[in-house]
Chains A and B, each alone.
Chain A
């Protein structure tokens, strides 16, 4: 019964207000490319010291979940992932917006984000100690295979020209190696430029590769950027709810994938949404529509990335290991408040922790009205604003967002350079997504592989370390094989069936 007391506390007027403010602030910040959840949380941390610990944490959690969700707006409306977690949202969200269904896409993304966030929060509330053990079983080898699983998505994204997709991925992987190697310490591909020692920033590269080509195409022709919606369609909530219910299994599976990947320190929302997208596409009946505006793709990515919020709090609270940078900032706030994380946290600090988790769930639920309202006006703004104003506005956000990541002008140069490269490559049939996948997953794959190689070398059993003695790796490799082979088998079957019909 004590648990209802914590729920009542989370529902107090003060906590509801902090949750609402956090969700609004987080959604707006997440929607602006380059402004991250980490930045917003870090700015707010000092203000929470004056608050009741549970209220402060609710506000930080609300900003976090709102920012992850907010990334979908820019991804859907201007093809620019507001956060790396929203990379996969561009695959189907932007094509939906281009065909005049931007309002529906925003509503679907909102429902998916709320569902994913709630699933992650409920698993955090109920299964934290058990799920925290999963994080401890993931070694460097499993991270390597997880990154490879993410890379298999290239086969999906490059349908019709696999060689070009693989070449783009190789370029992305090589770009991820620029700078000082984490393992070994070699300085690689910097051309003697000190500015490149830290590597190619993922966020500036993302903004450049996705947004600059859109801007370049926007100025070429007159007319509106997006199709205007038919009048009187409202939020299209009933339509979106119907789609979500019909694709409920996809929604639930993606939310669980997001939670589990969120538990793994360092993996984060980008891998979660890519893996969930890959699974959704693999099991979908309308596979050929994925990447062209399939609602199932949008449901999978947005539910998975918001589920990582609850998932990420599991190792943070139970083990004291932050899964993502925002988790690390929130862990710092917890420590300053005198809260010691660990397996006994739920008993010793139950009042604060349970109130915080309920507050996080309430903030997630608040995303539905907040997101629908912000999304509606954001969509209408993008549709109604003439290109002559929209182009400078988006261009300004790309420059500002790239600069704000590390407060370094070099990131803006990287963003513009990647944008021009992406535009030129796009004209020759090389899409940006394989490059981005390689860039995002490259470091995880390399570090995982090289560490497994070192550990295996020291034990004199590299293959054992890489796969033979690692049951979780078997499972991931099996999934990789199914993801890669199943489309081939289906294609051969279809050809045979066509041959028999003829």
Chain B
């Protein structure tokens, strides 16, 4: 294992603390399960507790804090846009069964156009993009309901 010393990694330690809590919860929950159901949660929970303790130590000692090579972006650039996207996705997921899939999807996708746009854009382009989103939602609604026979929630607004 390659572990370079790069200064204390408090974020890594905090996440490891979260994992530690998950491991403790898994072991604690397994105490009320049958033997068959408890073997794996207890074993994996135990492993997770041990690994989390090691990782907390490594993080605080400034070792093993490398970012994985899976392309994640750990910078805070554009944090406002990132958080706005997260908020839109949460609202989309929670509201579409009640409000209706088509309306929620159109509003959420239009909001995402605004969030993802970084340049000053002429109104005609806004209109064009909104129209593209409307067509996309309409086509997929038709495809799901008429071709694939997947019932889409209509909610109070469609």
Our pick among A167, A184, A214, A404 for the contact of B16 (Cβ within 8 Å) is: A167
Question: Is B127 part of the contact surface with A, judged by Cβ < 8 Å?
Answer: no
Q: In angstroms, how far is the closest chain B Cβ from the Cβ of A61?
A: 20
Q: Contacts of A167 on B, CB cut-off 8 Å?
A: 16, 19, 48, 51-52, 55
**Chain B nearest CB: distance from A167 CB in Å?**
5
B150 to chain A, nearest CB (A): 5
> Using Cβ atoms and an 8 Å threshold, which residues of chain A touch B105?
396, 399-400
Contact string against A for B residues 34-73, beta-carbon threshold 8 Å, 1 for contact and 0 otherwise? 1111111100110110011011001000001111111111
Tell me the smallest distance from the CB of B119 to a CB of chain A, in Å: 7
* Residues of chain A with a CB closer than 8 A to B137's CB: 396
Is the beta-carbon distance between A212 and B16 smaller than 8 angstroms? no
| Shortest distance between the CB of A445 and any CB in chain B (Å) | 8
B156 close to A (CB within 8 Å) = no
A39 CB–B CB distance under 8 Å = yes
With A and B bound together, what is the CA distance between A393 and B82 in angstroms? 17
Nearest chain A CB to B48 CB, angstrom units: 4
Q: List residues of A (209-248) whose CB comes within 8 Å of B's CBs.
A: 212-222
Task: Given the known inter-chain contacts A43-B149, A425-B15, please indicate yes or no for A164 contacting B70, CB distance below 8 A.
Answer: no
Interchain CA distance A181-B116 in the complex, whole Å:
42
CA–CA, A415 and B38, complex, Å: 27
A57 at interface, CB cutoff 8 A = no
Q: Is the CB of B65 within 8 A of A429?
A: yes
Chain A residues whose C-beta falls within 8 Å of the C-beta of B133 in the assembled complex: 389, 392, 396
| Interface size class, chain A | 35 or more
What is the minimal beta-carbon distance from A437 to any residue of chain B, in angstroms? 12
Say yes or no: B68 contacts A430, CB within 8 Å.
Answer: yes
Segment of A319-327, A343-351, A446-454 in the binding face? A446-454
A218 close to B70 (CB less than 8 A): no
Question: What is the interface of chain B mostly: helix, strand, loop, or mixed?
Answer: helix
Question: Given A292-B69, A392-B110, are A409 and B148 also a contact pair (CB < 8 Å)?
Answer: no
Q: Beyond A392-B109, A428-B15, is A184–B36 a contact (Cβ under 8 Å)?
A: yes
**B142 CB–A CB distance under 8 Å:** no
A426, B33: Cβ atoms under 8 Å?
A: no
Q: Is A185 an interface residue (CB 8 A)?
A: yes
> Does A382 interact with chain B (Cβ within 8 Å)?
no
Per the 8 Å Cβ criterion, residues 52-107 of B in contact with A are 52, 54-55, 58, 64-75, 77-79, 81-82, 84-86, 88-90, 92-94, 96-97, 101, 105
Question: Are B2 and A412 in touch, CB under 8 angstroms?
Answer: no
Contact assessment for B33 and A184 in the assembled complex, using a CB-CB cutoff below 8 Å: yes
Partner of B94 from A189, A413, A420 at Cβ < 8 Å: A413
Scan residues 376-407 of chain A and give those whose CB is less than 8 A from a CB of chain B: 387-393, 395-396, 399-400, 403-404, 407
Interface residues of A in 165-195 (CB under 8 A from B): 165-167, 170-171, 173-174, 177, 181, 183-186, 188-189
- Which A residues lie within 8 Å of B89 (CB)? 212, 215, 395, 416, 419-420
In the complex, A258 has a CB within 8 A of chain B: no
A184-B36, A427-B11, A428-B11 as given contacts; A161 in contact with B66, CB under 8 Å: yes
For residue A262, CB closer than 8 A to chain B, the reply is: no
Task: Tell me the total A-B contact number using a CB cutoff of 8 A.
Answer: 240
Instruction: Across the interface, name the chain A residue whose C-beta is closest to B70.
Output: A431
Q: Is the CB of A395 within 8 A of B140?
A: no
Could you tell me if A391 and B92 are in contact, using CB atoms closer than 8 angstroms?
Answer: no
Interface of A is mostly: helix
Is the Cβ of B78 less than 8 Å from the Cβ of A388?
no
Q: Which residues of B lie under 8 Å from residue A399 when comparing CB positions?
A: 92-93, 96, 105, 108
- Measured between C-beta atoms, what is the minimum distance from B75 to chain A in Å? 8
On chain B, the residues within 8 Å of A214 by CB distance are: 71
Contact in complex: B12, A170 (CB < 8 Å): no
Are the C-beta atoms of B58 and A163 separated by less than 8 Å?
yes
Residues of A contacting B82 in the complex (Cβ-Cβ under 8 angstroms): 216-217, 219-220
Separation of A389 and B93 alpha carbons in the complex (Å): 20
Complex CA–CA separation, A161 to B29 (angstroms): 29
Chain A's nearest CB lies how many Å from the CB of B25?
A: 8
Q: Which residues of A contact B88 (CB under 8 A)?
A: 395
Picked from A162, A188, A450, the residue with its CB within 8 Å of the CB of B29 is: A188
Instruction: Give the CA-CA distance A173 to B39 in the complex, in Å.
Output: 13
Minimum distance in angstroms from A457 CB to a CB of chain B: 10
Contact A222 B118 (CB under 8 A): yes
Contact across chains for B36 and A388 when beta carbons are under 8 A apart: no
- Choice from B36, B64, B66 contacting A450 with Cβ under 8 Å: B36
22 A-B pairs (CB sep. < 8 Å): A95-B71, A160-B2, A161-B68, A167-B51, A170-B23, A170-B45, A171-B19, A173-B40, A186-B36, A186-B37, A214-B71, A215-B89, A219-B78, A219-B85, A220-B79, A222-B118, A292-B69, A388-B113, A395-B108, A416-B90, A423-B86, A429-B65
When A and B form their complex, which 6 residue pairs have the shortest distance between CB atoms, in order from nearest? Answer: A220-B78, A186-B37, A184-B36, A426-B72, A431-B68, A222-B118
Q: What residues make up the interface of B, taking CB atoms closer than 8 Å to A?
A: 1-3, 11-12, 14-16, 19, 22-23, 26, 29, 33-41, 44-45, 47-48, 51-52, 54-55, 58, 64-75, 77-79, 81-82, 84-86, 88-90, 92-94, 96-97, 101, 105, 108-110, 112-113, 115-119, 121, 129, 132-133, 136-137, 140, 144, 147-153
User: What residues of chain A have their CB less than 8 Å away from a CB belonging to chain B?
Assistant: 35, 39, 43, 79, 94-95, 98, 157-167, 170-171, 173-174, 177, 181, 183-186, 188-189, 212-222, 291-292, 387-393, 395-396, 399-400, 403-404, 407, 409, 412-413, 415-416, 419-420, 423-433, 442, 445-446, 449-450, 453-454
Q: Assuming A407-B150, A413-B94, A429-B68, what are 12 further A-B pairs, CB within 8 angstroms?
A: A160-B2, A162-B1, A163-B64, A164-B68, A188-B29, A189-B41, A212-B89, A215-B89, A219-B78, A220-B75, A220-B82, A442-B40
